[in-house]
Every structure is written in structure tokens, then in C-alpha cells.
Amino acid sequence: MAGRVLQLNVSRGGVPKRPIPEGFVTPLGIEGDEVAHPQFHGGPQKALLLLASEVVDKLAAEGFPVYYGALGENVTTRGVDHRQFRAGQRYRIGDVIIELTRPRIPCSTLNVYGPGIQEAIYDRAVKEGDITSPHWGMSGFYAAVLQPGTIRKGDPIQLLEQVA
């Protein structure tokens, strides 16, 4: 699975997140990125949110007014198959090494992009960990930061460790 960083995104809390050319990533996420609801988002197990640009493109084609960064992702990927994301996988992105921790559970904050968006990216099967769900990985995947460093737009995303 080879891909790249299409866009890197931060905000002062909430959605949308705005693009930046590069960011320093710590165990708590990208410096300058704030979390509006720390009881639900952020922390060492949810330091970064990765989302495939292909998902955003699909949603936009279905009529949702979304764009890269709109869904709150920190790293918008290109060429990484979101259906292959698994908790425990490790990736190198720029200088940073991350480990995927869990799918994101979409919240009502995303409703600003229209009714039905949550159901378009997440279902009961995903909630139960069923990787055969057609929605698997569409809501994004959280990651822990194992090795801090800098991520830049265009950096390769390299799978280092696969899990079953």
C-alpha cells in the first residue's frame, strides 16, 4: 500500500480544518491543531486523524458539500486504500511513525455537511469491527504517534508493519 500526503490540516477546534504545507507532529498531534471537545477527540490514542481523499471525492460526487479538511482530518491521504486500514498497523509519514488505533466514530458536528453524511461513512458493522463493511475506513482512522517529527504535503505514506 503506497500513497502520499495530499493535504495536512489543522484548526482552532472543530471542523473544517485548514491546509498547511507542513507541521511538526508530537505524541499529541500536529502543533497548532486544537481540539474543541477533548473528552471525545485528541489525546495520545487519537493524536492524528487520517482520511482518504478518495472518500471525500466520493462524498462530494454524492452531493455532500465537502472538501479536503472539511471532515476534520489532519492527514488527507491519496492512493492509500482506506478499506485496508487496521488497528495496529504502523506507517511512516515523513519523519513520523504512527500506529493506527481505531476508526473514527463520526459525531453530529459533521451534520453541517448535510443530513445522512454520518450514515454515508459509518455503520453498525464498522462499529462492531467488521472489516467487510462497505463503510470500513470511510470515517477516517485515528493514530498514535510513535516517533515525532515533521510531515509535509507530498510526503510518502509507507506501511511499515501489517496486521491480520
Provide block-wise average pLDDT over 10 residues at a time, the chain (164 residues).
Answer: 91 94 97 84 93 98 98 97 96 97 94 95 97 97 98 97 82
Q: Which residues pair with 29 in a beta bridge?
A: 26
Q: CA 116 to CA 101: how far, in whole Å?
A: 26
> Is the previous residue joined to 16 through a cis bond, with omega within 30 degrees of 0?
yes
26 and 4 Cβ atoms separated by less than 8 Å: no
27 and 18 Cβ atoms separated by less than 8 Å: no
Q: CA 31 to CA 135: how far, in whole Å?
A: 30
Output the CA–CA distances (angstroms, integers) from residue 1 to 15, 77, 83, 135, 157, in the order listed: 28, 12, 11, 19, 8
- Considering the domain delimited by 2-161, tell me its CATH architecture: Beta Barrel (2.40)
Q: Is the pTM of this model over 0.85?
A: yes
Q: Where are the domains of the chain?
A: 2-161
User: For position 1, what pLDDT does the model report?
Assistant: 52
28 and 146 Cβ atoms separated by less than 8 Å: no
User: For position 2, what pLDDT does the model report?
Assistant: 74
User: For position 103, what pLDDT does the model report?
Assistant: 97
User: For position 121, what pLDDT does the model report?
Assistant: 98
33 and 20 Cβ atoms separated by less than 8 Å: no
